[in-house]
Structure 1
Amino acid sequence: MAPVKREKINGVSFVASREAINNEHVKPVLNVNANFAAIMPFGFIRDLEHPEIVYNTERQWFGETSLGAKQYIEELRYSGVKIMIKPQIWVWRGEFTGLIEMKDEASWKQLEDAYTKFILEYALLAAETKADIFCIGTELERFVDNRPAYWFSLIKEIKKVYKGMLTYAANWNEYHKTPFWKELNYIGVDAYFPVSSSKKPTVEECLIGWEKHKQEIKEVHDKFNKPILFTEYGYRSVDFSGKEPWKSDRSMNQVNLDAQTNTTQALFETFWREDWFAGGFIWKWFHKHDKVGGLTNHQFTPQNKPVEALIKKQYSLY
């Protein structure tokens, strides 16, 4: 007998752009056998201590707004692609969202009010569009650490308007202490774990590098009995891609396509066959497939690189 095919979330992180999308932009998603797309509208914060969130403005790109997110969802859905809505915060100059931290109680309250308004806007969109998964936040470690009671109350408010599956995208070094997993459906992890310090990591090195991380991830799964979802995963096509995979530093510019392929293959071999692993969203996928990536590109996108064929094959298996 042939083995039973266990369906995974075979996702792409679909990057917001200036314009609407159409079927031509969806075809490459289908071509890699993806069955899910993360749609990522954005809110903006001036600095790490600033409590105001600016979103849905005319200055933003179309895909970053509620209206644009809805158009993307409808176009992808028309072709049978399922949806995770994953609203994100961008701090000016690209500072890390995990470091957002207010200096006083009044500012914390202001941030909470702003974040509630921001996230409920997209929870309502998730309800309206019947999105399959809603992600309540991305890499907000200090916000969660400092204000756990707020997050529990926020989840209650979200559940009043959206009845589908919930997750939170915890950073790879944050997920083990996130306090509210029992209230959600998936334990979400942005999976930028260090797995190899080699210039060109081999699959074997990365498999060994994953062993400790995998055990710890499985322990969190066992504790809460919730499936693990890689809300983001992926590697740059650059030297040392497995050393600090979260880095988007432009000074790292030595193209290494094998490094990207090998690290990705090791991740697939480590997780995709596990029943407790739900799947993941490759970081990141641009709508104009023929204009991005390629053999001279050193960024995260797998498009028009050898790793794209690997993803297509993997996504066909589960």
Structure 2
Amino acid sequence: MKKPLMLAACLMVASPALAEDKPVLTVYAPDYFTSEWGPGPAIEAGFEKSCGCDLRFVAGDVLPRILLEGDKTAADVAIGLNTDVMARARATGLFAPHGEDVGRLTLPIAWTDDIFLPFDWSEIAFVYDKTKLKNPPKSFQELLDAPADAYKIAIEDPRSAISGLALLLWVKAVYGEKAGEAWEKLAPKVLTVTQDWSTAYGLFTDGEVDMVLSFTTSPAYHRIAENDDTKVAAIFPEGHYFYTEVAAQLKTSKQPELAQKFMDYLLSDAFQGMIATANWSYPSIIKPGFLPEGFETLPRPEKTLFFSETEAEALRGPALEEWRAAFGK
């Protein structure tokens, strides 16, 4: 999940000397994932302790790259997809069953899928600084009804960022056929639409905007890493849209045994126990001790909103047109 201060992306590639005589597991991941502040370095170190392999992350737009490469893809595993793009990923026929017991998951929704494996989750939310924004909206409707100059907000473009797509579906889940009207009310308060989450969050931390589209778990980073409790997620009674990241192994993998070991690792105590502070989100399996102080006190919405992958794919086109109409694009 895209988290605070992950503003630099890099390709995590082990040196040839270290990788000599070791099998290579190639994992396609989002840019943020492999950054210095992302979960990639910790995952790489943790998995390589037991796999006897060289784990290599290839950073970029995961699904578009796999769609382009097809069955010639070099990926053994794809990580960092979410439910709103799963239908398109599944339609490729390129992914293999994960082989995991999903009955162990502690998600706020039921999960039965045998291809895509959730490894973390949160809900999307507007995050603000309580020392700077004295009267934050107490509901989605209050946000919409506020004067045009009441807030300066940064959101992500739904055409390039899956967090932006999640916002489209959040608005659709709350307002249904009146989603277009909701966008017309929200648009004047949106100062900028960015290509990715990192840029939007950077504008927020730099003080350029009052609120940013992020996650209910984003304030945990500031609390734990910076000892700063001023960043808060606005919790709305209308509910918040569920956002989970998933991984899947490729049928075309040249290292199928290693790929399966990696899927096993994603639900291991070692992985799930570090995900809260490695990726600033809830682990998909929560056990005692997995949530550090600063996480357990995060406010949670009373209502979790969610569209299945089929529903999300069907709604994506119409919802995008409503968004474009409001923003004149």
Q: TM-score, normalising length from structure 1?
A: 0.28
Q: Which structure ranks higher in relative contact order (CA pairs < 8 Å, sequence separation ≥ 6)?
A: 2
Instruction: Calculate the TM-score normalised by the size of structure 2.
Output: 0.27
